Amino acid sequence: MDIRIGIANSPREISFESSQTSSEVEKVVADALDGNATFLKLNDDKGKLYIVPVASLSYVEVGSEESRRIGFVA
């Protein structure tokens, strides 16, 4: 699952791949925004933990769950 997080007042975004499903990521983001949490926490495939302040969150883009194709497509 590809995840991209936009940060307010920053030209760069955080981009990583996670083993979580799109519904799991959506629940974590919704709980952080609705529960008055100060941080959003997500893990990537390699075990890294990403902690983003909710106040500076611009957007969270959740990509597709399908695997990438390698090689040429005819």
Q: Is this prediction's pTM over 0.85?
A: no
Residue pLDDT, tens place only, 12-41:
999 999 988 899 999 999 999 998 889 999
Assess contact for 24 and 15: CB atoms under 8 A: no
Assess contact for 5 and 13: CB atoms under 8 A: yes
Q: In which band, very low, low, confident or very high, does the pLDDT at 67 lie, cut at 50, 70 and 90?
A: low
Vertex 19 angle, CA 67 and 12, to 5°: 85
Rounded CA gap, 21 and 65, in Å? 7
Residue boundaries of the structural domains of the chain = 2-62
Assess contact for 20 and 1: CB atoms under 8 A: yes
